[in-house]
Chain A
Amino acid sequence: MKIACCIKRVPDSETRVKIAADGKSLDEAGVKFVMNPYDEFAVEEALRRKEKAGTGEVVVICLGPAAGQETIRTALAMGADRGVLLQTEKTPADSFETARLIAAELKSGTWDLILFGRMAIDDYNHQVGVIVAELLGLPCVSAVSHLDIEGLKGIAEREIEGGIEVVEFPLPAVLTVDKGLNEPRYPALKGIMAAKKKPLEVKAVRPGAGTIEIAALTPPPERKEGKIVGEGAGAVAELVRLLREEAKVL
Chain B
Amino acid sequence: MDSFVPAQYQPRLPLDQLIIEAGSDGAGDTMELDVVIVGAGPAGLSCAIELAKLARADGSELNVGVLEKAEALGEHSLSGAVVNPRAMRELFPDLQDSDFPFRRPVDKEAVYLLTRSGKLRLPTPPTMHNRRYYIASLCEIVRWLGAKAEALGVTIFTGFPAAQLLVRGPAVAGVRTAAAGLDRDGKPTPGASAPNDLTAKVTALAGGTRGLLAQAWCERQHVPSENPQIFALGVKELWETKQPLDRVIHTLGWPLPRDAFGGSFIYPLEPNLVALGLVVGLDYRDANLDVHGLLQRFKQHPLLRSLLAGGEMVEWGAKTIPEGGFYALPERRSGEGIVILGDAAGFVDVPSLKGIHYAMQSGIYAARAIYQHLNTGAALAEYDRLVNASYVVSDLYRTRNMRLAFRDGFYLGGFQAALMTLTGGRFPGGKYRMHADAEVPRRSSPNSAGATTPGISKVDAVFKSGNATRDTVPSHLIAGSDVPLEVARFYAHMCPAGVYEATESGLRINAPNCVDCKATDVLGPRWTPREGGSGPRYKRM
Given A183-B190, A186-B180, A193-B155, check contact A30 B539 (CB 8 Å): yes
A186–B71 alpha-carbon span in the complex (Å): 11
**Residues 19-50 of chain A: 1 if any B CB is under 8 Å from the residue's CB, otherwise 0?**
00000000000111000000000000000000
Contact between chains at A193 and B31 (CB < 8 Å): yes
Please list the 9 inter-chain residue pairs (A to B) with the smallest Cβ-Cβ separation, ordered nearest first. A30-B539, A189-B196, A30-B540, A190-B29, A189-B29, A183-B191, A192-B157, A193-B155, A189-B31
- A14 at the binding interface (Cβ < 8 Å): yes
The 25 sampled A-B contact pairs (Cβ below 8 Å) are A14-B466, A14-B468, A14-B537, A30-B540, A31-B539, A32-B72, A32-B537, A183-B190, A183-B191, A185-B191, A186-B159, A186-B191, A186-B193, A188-B29, A188-B193, A189-B29, A189-B31, A189-B157, A189-B160, A190-B29, A190-B31, A192-B155, A193-B155, A196-B153, A196-B155
- B399 at the binding interface (Cβ < 8 Å): no
Contact between chains at A189 and B198 (CB < 8 Å): yes
- B314 at the binding interface (Cβ < 8 Å): yes
Contacts of A185 in B (CB 8 A): 191
Which among A32, A185, A190 has the highest number of chain B CB atoms within 10 Å? Answer: A32
Task: Known A-B contacts: A186-B191, A189-B177, A192-B155. Give 16 more (CB < 8 A).
Answer: A14-B466, A14-B537, A30-B539, A183-B190, A185-B191, A186-B180, A186-B532, A189-B29, A189-B31, A189-B157, A190-B29, A192-B157, A193-B31, A193-B65, A196-B153, A196-B155
A32–B533 alpha-carbon span in the complex (Å): 14
Contacts of B180 in A (CB 8 A): 186
Contacts of B29 in A (CB 8 A): 188-190
Contact between chains at A32 and B157 (CB < 8 Å): no
Chain A: minimal CB distance from B56 (Å):
16
Chain B contact-residue range equals: 20 to 34
**Residues 41-83 of chain A: 1 if any B CB is under 8 Å from the residue's CB, otherwise 0?**
0000000000000000000000000000000000000000000
Contacts of A32 in B (CB 8 A): 72, 537, 539
- A107 at the binding interface (Cβ < 8 Å): no
Contacts of A193 in B (CB 8 A): 31, 65, 155
- A227 at the binding interface (Cβ < 8 Å): no
Which among B153, B177, B193, B532 has the highest number of chain A CB atoms within 10 Å? Answer: B193
Which among A31, A186, A196 has the highest number of chain B CB atoms within 10 Å? Answer: A186
- A16 at the binding interface (Cβ < 8 Å): yes
Contacts of B537 in A (CB 8 A): 14, 32
Contacts of B193 in A (CB 8 A): 186, 188
Within 8 A of A (CB), among B180-237: 180, 190-191, 193, 196, 198
A82–B160 alpha-carbon span in the complex (Å): 24
Query: Across the two chains, which residue of chain A brings its CB closest to B270?
Result: A29
A190–B193 alpha-carbon span in the complex (Å): 13
A190–B190 alpha-carbon span in the complex (Å): 20
Chain B: minimal CB distance from A69 (Å):
11
A14–B72 alpha-carbon span in the complex (Å): 13
A192–B157 alpha-carbon span in the complex (Å): 7
Contacts of B539 in A (CB 8 A): 30-32
A14–B155 alpha-carbon span in the complex (Å): 26
Within 8 A of B (CB), among A176-223: 183, 185-186, 188-190, 192-193, 196
Contacts of B540 in A (CB 8 A): 30
Within 8 A of A (CB), among B386-405: none
A14–B191 alpha-carbon span in the complex (Å): 22
Contacts of A190 in B (CB 8 A): 29, 31
A193–B177 alpha-carbon span in the complex (Å): 15
Query: Across the two chains, which residue of chain B brings its CB closest to A13?
Result: B468
**Residues 511-541 of chain B: 1 if any A CB is under 8 Å from the residue's CB, otherwise 0?**
0000000000000000000001000010110
Contact between chains at A16 and B155 (CB < 8 Å): no
A189–B197 alpha-carbon span in the complex (Å): 10
A82–B231 alpha-carbon span in the complex (Å): 48
A201–B196 alpha-carbon span in the complex (Å): 31
Within 8 A of A (CB), among B308-340: 314
A166–B315 alpha-carbon span in the complex (Å): 46
Contacts of B198 in A (CB 8 A): 189
Contact between chains at B157 and A16 (CB < 8 Å): no
Which among B153, B157, B180, B540 has the highest number of chain A CB atoms within 10 Å? Answer: B157
Query: Across the two chains, which residue of chain B brings its CB closest to A187?
Result: B159
Chain A: minimal CB distance from B416 (Å):
42
A103–B236 alpha-carbon span in the complex (Å): 48
A30–B538 alpha-carbon span in the complex (Å): 9
A183–B177 alpha-carbon span in the complex (Å): 22
Query: Across the two chains, which residue of chain B brings its CB closest to A12?
Result: B537
Query: Across the two chains, which residue of chain B brings its CB closest to A189?
Result: B196
Within 8 A of A (CB), among B137-151: none
Contacts of A188 in B (CB 8 A): 29, 193, 196
Contact between chains at A16 and B314 (CB < 8 Å): yes
A192–B196 alpha-carbon span in the complex (Å): 13
Query: Across the two chains, which residue of chain B brings its CB closest to A196?
Result: B155
A196–B159 alpha-carbon span in the complex (Å): 17
Query: Across the two chains, which residue of chain A brings its CB closest to B533?
Result: A186
Chain B: minimal CB distance from A40 (Å):
13
